Amino acid sequence: MTSESSFLQGARLNPEQESAVTSGARFLRVLAGAGSGKTRVLVHRAAFLIKECGISPYEILAVTFTNKAANEMRNRIADLCDAPVKGMWVGTFHGLAHRFLRIHFRDAGLDEPFQIMDTDDQLRMLKRIHKEMQIQDADFTPKQSMGFINREKDEGRYPASGTGMDRQTRLMQEVYQRYQDLCDQSSLVDFAELLLRSLKLFENNPAIADFYQRKFAHILVDEFQDTNAIQFKWLQALLGHDNALTIVGDDDQSIYGWRGAQIENILRFSEKYPETETVRLEQNYRSTKSIIGAANGVISCNIDRLGKALWTAGEQGEPVQLYAAYNEIDESKFIVERIAHFKSKGIPYRKQAILYRSNAQSRVMEEALLHARVPYRIYGGQRFFDRAEIKSAMAYLRLIALPEDDAAFERVINFPARGLGDRSVQTIRDAANAQQISMWQAASRLIEHKALSARAHNSLVQFIELIKGLQTTGQGITLSELVSAMLSRTQLVQAYAKESQEQRQAREENLKELVSAASSFNSITDFEQEDFLDPSMRDMAEDDGFLPIRPKVVEPSNDAKVPAALAAFLDHVSLESGEMQASQDSDAVQMMTIHASKGLEFPVVFLAGLEEGLFPSQMSMNETGRIEEERRLCYVGITRAEQYLTISYAESRRIYGEERRTRISRFVREIPSEFLKEIRLGSVVKPVYHARQQESSLPSGQPASAPNDGSVKVGDRVMHRAFGEGIVLATEGRDARMRVQVNFTRAGSKWLMANVAKLEVLS
């Protein structure tokens, strides 16, 4: 297809973008620099395949890393095609894996329904296993077990046994095996299991794998630099002899190695597939030349990269501002003052962001913002479905859908309190373990045999009847009515009666919002048969004989389908909750870690804490390859800025209660000097050589009282109780914000806060 097509004429693509969109290569690697139009290229390529190449939407699989990105991609493709792209599979790795497992649950060795377990319930189950196996925290904690299990699954491994393991590894494998047995017993699947089990589905069922290899002629993958081992294997399982694979990513923005991402997947892609065509997108449409120059200077110091140089046709812009703070308090006050400055220039708070390496840095920043009465928002703060009252409500809903869910059972068996103490719950747990059944089944048998105290027996009977009653009620009402009924009968709101009015009101509002979420939930299934197969593939599916024939599920308003709606709602919450964010509508300064900022952009960015040991982190300085990932993280932080970027560091910082002297980060030193400008607040600087001449000419004398306003002037000879005698070289700021640079005879040059140091001026 030539670039003269009407579709491309209206696309306004630059030459490199057009090359990527129209490439006929079977394997295409698009290296998309920050702000270079990555998403634009991806959606235009999908639309190009549909509109210009005659590819059916049913034949395209598009993989993203967030549901938000998937929805945006689907909508933008529909706009470009001037029609809904019904049948196109677009989703995250986990969402698509879940879709495969729902369709092929029998072949995957799962019951229907199965439920997705979140990390909180995963940890709860592992705590129970540790207690059961009498594993002490001195050996390893439940969190360490969770990390081990998730890493094993991300590498594609189920529990293993055998010789050659040390004691701790062998014990962790035993925990893994027990954990897996409990998950299978309760029909629970954790996030890592979604990918691993769907991969095994393809590996163990060649007919199913072959069907999808024929179905998906084109596979498009976003953010490929963030893929881990099992995600790459999962993609390979869908690749047959003729499929085309397009990957889009940026090796310079690979910042998730700590959670399993393998930069080698994008770096070595052409070694795996030698016929790969590589297109580089280097024109940046986001930032000024100064910001781009600073970013290029930093990232060019990395060795293991494919190489590209961002450029922009935009304005030069102001140099990157660098501020050397006396300590973290001075740094935070300075940033708040600069925020007010930009606000006065017409830049709203919401378009200004403070980025930091560690969450711990936010506290001092928050205090300064609160003191100045500047509104702020912690991006990625506690999410709606992570709140305790919502998790308890969701646990009740999960029990209604699947009583064998042990994690949900344990969470609410005695919440609100109903007279079932720890001893009674342990009795139920022991019975479940001994008989290898769910806690729900064990509870029913204990009731039948009257094996508990009278009080515990009655309480347990009431609990079982409560859940069964809600199951019956759910058959004849809407999903939102079921949630309302659950809240009313469980008295969850009343459970928080002893909390403060403010906390109680917040929880009540959140629980009401859950009813609203259920009411607005429409998509009760995302793998309807009509949405899965186009007419040309129906015969192939029937001939292969492995696809279940599913009737199309109607909307939740049909009362008879409420149980199906509940199951779909629970899946929706599990898959979506990890990405929920608070509202961004209010005018508030955005605060976040640099990791959380990836994919975002702001006119004004403050990059705080650029110090050795903090950024780069101390841990990264002792591990091979980690410094390069930290440098990529710095590159990500710099390229979030559109117009103004300010970098700050503190010459001393209180860490874990201890005041420590710090050194400026190597990343700052890597920024070319022409793109960097050190700023002072109302500063007066005296040439060093002149100050030294003046120092030698000043007569010695007794300490004299400082001026009434406590200020000092350039050239003053001063005394400090710790550093001794010295000459003032420079001053900046005023009053409580005043800093002075002093060249001490013994200690050398230092910046000090004048009001803290209490310098004495010598006569």
Helix (H) or strand (E) run with residue 199 in it: helix 191-204
Token pair of 625 as six digits: 């390859």
Decide which of 282, 312, 332 is a domain's last residue: 282
Are both 87 and 222 inside the same structural domain? yes
3-state secondary structure of 718: strand
Torsions phi, psi for 19 (to 5 deg): -60, -40
Domain count, the chain: 5
Cα gap 126→142, rounded to integer Å? 6
The stretches of 300-412 forming alpha helices (DSSP H) are 328-344, 362-371, 388-401, 406-412
- Domain membership of residue 464 as a residue range: 385-521+556-579
Decide which of 186, 219, 249 is a domain's last residue: 186
Q: How big is the CA angle at 730 (ends 725 and 734), to the nearest 5 degrees?
A: 110
CA distances from 633 to 43, 103, 207, 365, 555 (A): 26, 39, 43, 21, 44
Are both 201 and 312 inside the same structural domain? no
Look at residue 548 and tell me if it is in a domain.
no
**pLDDT for res 706:** 36
Burial group, residue 196, by CB count within 10 angstroms (0-12, 13-18, 19+) = buried
DSSP letter assigned to residue 59: G
Decide which of 637, 658, 678 is a domain's last residue: 678
Token pair of 205 as six digits: 């069922």
For the entire predicted model, the pTM comes to 0.74
Query: Cis bond leading into 57, ω under 30°?
Result: no
Catalytic residues: 38-39, 222-223, 253, 640
Look at residue 530 and tell me if it is in a domain.
no
Are both 460 and 564 inside the same structural domain? yes
Token pair of 290 as six digits: 């100064």
Look at residue 134 and tell me if it is in a domain.
yes
Look at residue 550 and tell me if it is in a domain.
no
Query: What 3 state SS string does 614-676 have?
Result: ECCECHHHHCCCHHHHHHHHHHHHHCCEEEEEEEEEECEEEECCEEEECCECHHHHCCCHHHE
DSSP labels, 256-296? -GGGT--THHHHTHHHHSTT-EEEEE-B-SSS-HHHHHHHH
Reference 228, options 202, 281, 201, 191; nearest CA is: 191
Are both 257 and 371 inside the same structural domain? no
Reference 384, options 570, 514, 492, 490; nearest CA is: 514
Cα gap 291→258, rounded to integer Å? 27
Token pair of 92 as six digits: 């995250």
Are both 125 and 44 inside the same structural domain? no
pLDDT digits (tens, 9 = 90+) for 239-276: 988 899 999 999 999 988 877 889 999 999 999 999 99
Quote the distance between the C-alpha of residue 639 and its chain's center.
18
Q: Which residues pair with 648 in a beta bridge?
A: 323
Are both 101 and 212 inside the same structural domain? yes
Reference 264, options 239, 231, 220, 227; nearest CA is: 227
**pLDDT for res 718:** 85
DSSP labels, 241-266? SS-EEEEEE-GGG---GGGT--THHH
Number of other CB atoms surrounding residue 485 within 10 Å: 16
Helix (H) or strand (E) run with residue 30 in it: strand 27-32
Q: Looking at residue 159, which CATH number applies to its domain?
A: 1.10.10.160
Residues of the chain with pLDDT under 50: 1-3, 523-530, 548-561, 578-583, 683-709
Q: Which residues contact 723 (CB under 8 A, 6 or more apart)?
A: 742, 744, 746, 747, 750
**pLDDT for res 381:** 58
3-state secondary structure of 68: helix
Are both 129 and 13 inside the same structural domain? no
Are both 27 and 65 inside the same structural domain? yes
CA distances from 709 to 419, 439, 536, 748 (A): 68, 73, 86, 26
Look at residue 532 and tell me if it is in a domain.
no
Are both 376 and 391 inside the same structural domain? no
- Write b or e for each residue in 303-339: b if 16 or more Cβ atoms lie within 10 A of its Cβ, otherwise e: eebeebebebebeebebbbbbbbbbbbbbbbbbbebb
Torsions phi, psi for 177 (to 5 deg): -65, -45
Are both 454 and 570 inside the same structural domain? yes
Q: Looking at residue 319, which CATH number applies to its domain?
A: 3.40.50.300
Look at residue 533 and tell me if it is in a domain.
no
Look at residue 529 and tell me if it is in a domain.
no
Are both 573 and 589 inside the same structural domain? no
Q: What is the distance between the terminal CA atoms of the chain, rounded to a whole angstrom?
A: 85
**pLDDT for res 480:** 87
Report whether 670 contacts 635 (CB < 8 A): no
Handedness of CA 264, 265, 269, 271 (dihedral sign): positive
Reference 431, options 408, 448, 419; nearest CA is: 448
Cα gap 337→679, rounded to integer Å? 13
Look at residue 531 and tell me if it is in a domain.
no
Q: Looking at residue 464, which CATH number applies to its domain?
A: 1.10.486.10
Quote the distance between the C-alpha of residue 13 and its chain's center.
30
Are both 304 and 264 inside the same structural domain? no
